[in-house]
Amino acid sequence: MRIAQIHAHVLEARLSEPFGWSFNATDTRGSCLVEVVAEDGVTGWGECYGPARLNAPVVRAMASELIGKDPLATDALWLQLYNKFRDSGQKGLVVNAISGIDIALWDLKGRHFETPVHVLMGGPLRREVRAYATGTYRLRNGDPLDYIVREVRGYVSEGFSAVKLKIGFGVKEDEKLIRAVREAIGPDTGLMLDANHGFDALEAIELGRRVAPLDIGWFEEPVVPDDLGSYIEVRRGQPIPVAGGECEFTRWGFRDVLTRRAMDIIQPDTGGAGGLSECKKIADMATAFGVRYVPHVWGCGVGLAAALQLLAVLPHSPPRHTPLEPMLEFDRSEHPFRQAVLTTPLEHRRGVVAIPDGPGLGIEIDRAAIERFSVAV
């Protein structure tokens, strides 16, 4: 079996209303989908995390390394790509591209063997996951104390048992909103905070101390990702568990996070940190360090399906009769093609998502939707 073609599709869609977070805003959702076609016609799909218009040229540039190779040799191809581009690509776009390709290769492998990816990866350890709602982005108009409180109430009434709140707009303003949200969702719904690295260590420590009594599940990306020293200070300086890692890459990047004990919970993006092959390795490393793993998920349905396959094989740590289960990040913000690219949407039922058990990633791609949202790049 040999790889015949590799395509990078850039999909984009304008939002009905732009939304923002601590340091940026967008009026468009975009994705780079990777399609790997074998000589016998079997096809696999993957998705890269990161800026789609930059992901696609890197994927295309890597294609010539892979044409004619055995698509089932996922680890061998991963190492081939990483070793080839390592000197200028240990983080960022190069690893994003390898990730999307790796996910597509796993999907193809699953389709070849007519087996779900999570079975080929040695699972499943679970068949469904509890999802938490990600949303609460900032709109151009209106009072966040009003529209975000309404939004989180909606998630609770949909059945989500935990929600994540976007912060990073200033300690005092954030504290007010966190208190309002905790009051709105009541004491029994999980509440996590995500600052999108909008603070320095001193601000993050101050905010963490102020809101810790409100039972906060984790404090995500309190500080910039390339400053592990500040992460360590935030961990030591305030009581909320510190999460991060959506901007970290590969076993080597997470080696430093883990050995320096910079985070309580790591959140590699499956389409960014190295794909399914690498994220399983990172997850096993995290287990050995006693650090929790909750995948970051921000893509369309392809990335979501990859995260679900990985979630099916994340090890329990520690094992016990009712072990801690990993959660799925379920993005609820507007995304015109998140589900449209799939023939069957990946939906939650009262905050729980079933892990697809069809071949490969367990999804079918709607080619008409791919064409509808594709842009020439």
CB nearer to Ca ion: pick between 151 and 194: 194
The answer to the question of residue 278 lying near Ca ion (CB under 5 A) is no
Q: Minimum CB separation from Ca ion for residue 196, in Å?
A: 6
Q: Minimum CB separation from Ca ion for residue 165, in Å?
A: 11
Q: Produce one character per residue of 334-347: b if its CB has 16 or more CB atoms within 10 Å, e if not.
A: bbbbbbbbbeeebe
Q: Minimum CB separation from Ca ion for residue 40, in Å?
A: 40
CB nearer to Ca ion: pick between 81 and 216: 216
Count of alpha carbons within 13 angstroms of residue 280, beta-carbon side: 19
Catalytic residue among 296, 316, 321, 335: 296
Binding-site size for Ca ion (CB under 5 A) equals 1
Nearest residue to 148 (alpha-carbon basis) of 172, 171, 190, 182: 182
Locate all alpha helices (DSSP H) within the chain, ordered by sequence: 52-66, 74-85, 93-113, 117-120, 144-158, 171-185, 201-211, 228-237, 250-259, 275-289, 301-311, 367-373
In the annotation, is 9 catalytic?
A: no
CB nearer to Ca ion: pick between 136 and 317: 136
Per the DSSP assignment, residues forming a β-bridge with 164 are 134, 192
Any idea which residue has 């970290």 for tokens? 248
CB nearer to Ca ion: pick between 30 and 244: 244
Binding residues for Ca ion restricted to 193-212, rule: CB under 5 A = 194
Region of 118 (left: φ > 0; alpha: ψ -120 to 50; beta: rest) is: alpha
Binding residues for Ca ion restricted to 315-374, rule: CB under 5 A = none
CB nearer to Ca ion: pick between 174 and 194: 194
Cβ-proximal residues to 340 (8 Å cutoff; 6+ apart), any chain? 366, 369, 372, 373
Span of 38-46, 80-88, 90-98, 186-194 interacting with Ca ion by CB under 5 A = 186-194
Binding residues for Ca ion restricted to 46-75, rule: CB under 5 A = none
Span of 42-50, 70-78, 192-200, 339-347 interacting with Ca ion by CB under 5 A = 192-200
Q: Minimum CB separation from Ca ion for residue 198, in Å?
A: 11
Q: Minimum CB separation from Ca ion for residue 224, in Å?
A: 13
Q: Which residues carry out catalysis? A: 296
Interface ranges with Ca ion (CB under 5 A): 194
